[in-house]
């Protein structure tokens, strides 16, 4: 294409765009709305998802091994005979032995020797009734080795009052979530009474109150020394779980499968633990994609309708241009260029308005205490969405301009000038 022909195409496209400022402005507005919606809605959805995911990853182990054996013992007859017995035992009495992880410290050392593992810690969990000032609360108590546990699920940075390090030095220390502390009305230094079925009651002193920003954790979980929880639930020397922190959080499902095969205990990755919430996020993303796609398609139909109208109104002008030497390709380029200009302008304005929208939304005071705690709109600004918005706008503009551009390029000067068309 020669420079002269290019100048002619650019002049004609600019002339047509300027001649119908109102109609083309409406088409630009449709594209702008689609891109603006894409950026703002993705920023809001991604903000909540990012906050939830990062909070869960920080406060929860990436993989947990439980005390359920994947390779259970043989039947009672097989154990008695010492070999395989082709028989079925009905109503076999359950074993009196408590479920526990055997040789937990060896498992912890083996895990920490793996290159994928950042830290591992053995612990025990159980439901414990805590009573203070006439109020009783059932809480998820975790018995831990504080230094090791801090490397797996660091609680110290979230402590609002007291010190989590004190828990390892105090024989009767207790760390509570802020929601639990508020429900019971306790403060650092208060002594609560704790008890559980089958164990020995203890009086525990609150040494730390933390707030992880996840209400389900802050309102239900407490931490004590491992030996204290073993005493409370009547499970001396028992380890019920091994918690693992990985260097790559996305590799948790594959690593969980590996450690299950290696150690023979049931495991769970953080993705499995939060599968319900992650599934909801995926559904939200699908719905959002449909909504944004529909808005962008509406903008595309706006461009299509305007371009078709221009082609129908300008068939005589097109015929004259063809008769003085413009080729079909030149006519095609004129209309495609108009669509791309509308889409580009709409995309850029949509990007700018989306940026402003995210900044303003992030300033809004909205108190939320659902899955995560926040005082403002949770916004995550990802630069790639600005590129996506512009790319989608250009794609819509190009596709919407193809039909009218092709139709315009097929106009035959002779048929128009003879009055057979237009």
Q: How many Cα atoms sit within 13 Å of 359 on the Cβ side?
A: 6
What distance in Å separates the CA atoms of residue 180 and residue 193, rounded to the nearest whole number? 14
What distance in Å separates the CA atoms of residue 69 and residue 246, rounded to the nearest whole number? 23
Q: What percent of the chain has pLDDT over 90?
A: 31
At 161, is the secondary structure helix, strand, or coil? strand
Residue 314 — very low, low, confident or very high, per pLDDT cuts 50/70/90?
low
Residue 91 pLDDT more than 70?
Answer: no
Query: What is the reported pLDDT for 184?
Result: 92
What distance in Å separates the CA atoms of residue 7 and residue 307, rounded to the nearest whole number? 21
62: Cα separation from own chain's centroid: 15
pLDDT tens digit sequence for 21-34: 777 787 888 888 88
- Where are any strands of DSSP class E within 30-134? 63-69, 117-132
What distance in Å separates the CA atoms of residue 296 and residue 133, rounded to the nearest whole number? 60
**Minimum mean pLDDT range among 44-58, 136-150, 232-246, 264-278:** 44-58
**CB 63 within 8 Å of CB 269:** yes
Closest CA to 378 of 391, 365, 388: 365
| Better-predicted residue by pLDDT, 16 or 79 | 16
**CB 194 within 8 Å of CB 225:** no
Residue 246 — very low, low, confident or very high, per pLDDT cuts 50/70/90?
very high
Average model confidence (pLDDT) across the chain: 81
Q: How does strand 221-225 pair with strand 135-144?
A: parallel
Q: What percent of the chain has pLDDT over 70?
A: 79
Residue 192 pLDDT more than 90?
Answer: yes
Most confident segment among 74-88, 270-284, 308-322 = 270-284
Q: How does strand 173-177 pair with strand 202-210?
A: parallel
Closest CA to 209 of 165, 258, 174: 174
pLDDT tens digit sequence for 112-142: 999 999 999 999 999 999 999 889 999 999 9
- Where are any strands of DSSP class E within 285-408? 365-369, 373-376
């Amino acid at each position: 294409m020669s420079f002269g022909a290019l100048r002619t195409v650019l002049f004609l496209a600019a002339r047509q765009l300027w001649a119908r400022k109102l109609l083309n402005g409406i088409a630009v507005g449709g594209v702008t709305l689609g891109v603006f919606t894409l950026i703002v809605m993705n920023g809001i959805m991604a903000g909540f998802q990012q906050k939830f995911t990062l909070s869960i990853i920080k406060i929860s182990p990436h993989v947990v091994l439980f005390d359920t054996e994947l390779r259970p013992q043989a039947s009672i007859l097989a154990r008695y005979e010492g070999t395989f017995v082709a028989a079925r035992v009905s109503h076999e009495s359950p074993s009196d032995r408590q479920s526990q992880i055997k040789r937990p410290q060896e498992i912890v050392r083996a895990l920490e020797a793996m290159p994928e593992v950042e830290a591992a810690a053995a612990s025990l969990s159980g439901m414990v009734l805590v009573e203070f000032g006439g109020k009783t609360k059932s809480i998820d108590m975790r018995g831990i080795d504080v230094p090791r546990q801090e490397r797996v699920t660091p609680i110290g940075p979230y402590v609002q009052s007291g010190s989590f390090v004190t828990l390892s030095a105090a024989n009767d220390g207790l760390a509570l979530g802020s929601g639990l502390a508020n429900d019971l009305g306790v403060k650092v230094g208060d002594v609560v009474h704790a008890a559980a079925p089958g164990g020995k009651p203890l009086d525990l002193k609150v040494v730390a109150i933390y707030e992880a920003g996840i209400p389900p954790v802050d309102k239900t979980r407490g931490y004590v020394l491992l030996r204290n929880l073993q005493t409370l639930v009547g499970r001396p020397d028992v380890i019920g779980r091994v918690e693992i922190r990985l260097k790559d959080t996305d590799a948790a499902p594959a690593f969980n499968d590996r450690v299950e095969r290696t150690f023979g205990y049931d495991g769970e990755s953080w993705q499995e633990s939060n599968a319900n919430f992650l599934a909801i996020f995926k559904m939200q993303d699908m719905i959002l994609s449909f909504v944004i796609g529909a808005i962008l398609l509406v903008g595309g139909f706006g461009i299509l309708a305007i371009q078709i109208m221009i082609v129908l109104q300008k068939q005589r002008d097109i015929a004259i241009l063809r008769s003085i030497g413009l080729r079909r390709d030149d006519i095609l380029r004129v209309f495609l260029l108009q669509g791309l200009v509308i889409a580009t302008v709409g995309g850029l304005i949509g990007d700018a308005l989306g940026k402003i929208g995210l900044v303003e939304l992030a300033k809004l005071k909205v108190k939320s205490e659902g899955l995560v705690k926040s005082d403002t709109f949770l916004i995550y600004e990802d630069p790639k969405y600005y590129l996506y918005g512009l790319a989608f706008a250009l794609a819509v503009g190009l596709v919407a301009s193809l039909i009218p551009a092709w139709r315009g390029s097929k106009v035959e000067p002779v048929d128009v000038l003879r009055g057979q068309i237009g």
